[in-house]
Structure 1
Amino acid sequence: MAELVFFSPIKAAQLTRLPVFTCPVPAGFPLPGVGPADEILDLHQYLFGQPASTCLARVVGDTTPGVGIHPDDFIVVNRALTPSDGHIVVAVLNGAHSVHRLRQEPGRRWLEAVGEHYAPLELHAACDLRLWGVVTHVIHPLFRKRSGVA
């Protein structure tokens, strides 16, 4: 199961504003040259639209690679959102935090790992479960540092 390492909220002094090009960037054929940025993206506002209820957590484990969440990625978790069927959630099951896809049908609820090595966790009334928050974004590098390589 994926474990989480939580981080304190970002301070206002650490806000990041980045230039954004409004022209589309195709994932296929290149476009002609692009000029200066058209607008500024407040990365803090984009990721933490509700800063009082949003935090970062680092994922440890491998239950969610099927949705693009990998070990050592950061996830943005919003505790103010109401989890619904299909959401990726941070669940606290028997005191342990984990990341899963929430599945719900009338009279039935379960947590689904999006990794191939884990069975779904059926949730019964006797389970000590809290849906702690909804994962809204994933932050991960495209290239990971290899240990021992400069």
Structure 2
Amino acid sequence: MNQLPNVDALSISLDDLLQLRAPSVYLVRVEGDSMQGAGIFSGDLLIVDRQVQAQHGHIIIAAVNGEPLCKRLSLEHGQIVLRPENKKYPARYIIEGDSFEVWGVVSHSVRSH
């Protein structure tokens, strides 16, 4: 019969590994399938950092006209475009009159099995 290794030797702090103790970090649960191509699925927990400056290519949590969403940030010819990672959904262009606020940059995802 196989014995399990000594648990003490395998102890890992997820708080330390994922920097969950940082005051700028929070968790959000995903609803929907618009980010499947990035490996983010409905029900996953995302670890989001408010202190990271959002840049082109980052996956972000944002609000557009008060609606929260998770998309890939794209800066195209001076225009902000929020792109899903699922071809079923169109890109969301931020246009004049839209309220747009970045709530943080996604650093990790956690999935239950």
Alignment gaps of 5+ in structure 2: none
Partner of 2:86: 115
- Structure 1, unaligned runs of 5 or more: 1-34, 144-150
| 1:19 corresponding residue in structure 2 | none
Of residues 123-132 and 82-91 in structure 1, the stretch that sits farther from structure 2 once superposed is 123-132
Where do residues 1-150 of structure 1 align in structure 2 (5 Å cutoff)?
41-48=12-19, 51-141=22-112, 143=113
SS of 1:60's partner is: coil
- Find the structure with the greater CA-based Rg: 1
Equivalent pairs, count: 108
Q: Residue by residue, what CA displacement relative to the aligned partner does 1:73-124 show, whole Å, maximum 9, x if unpaired?
A: 0000100100000000001011111100000134221000111211111112
Q: Could you say what secondary structure the match of 2:12 adopts?
A: strand
TM-score (norm 1): 0.65
CA distance in 1, matches of 2:107, 2:11: 21
CA distance in 1, matches of 2:21, 2:56: 22
Distance 1:50 1:104, change over 3 A: farther
Query: Structure 2 CA distance, aligned partners of 1:110 and 1:137?
Result: 22
TM-score (structure 2 length as normaliser): 0.85
Q: Could you tell me which amino acid in structure 2 is paired with residue 54 of structure 1?
A: V
- Pair 1:46–1:125, CA change in 2 (3 A): farther
SS in 2 for 1:86: coil
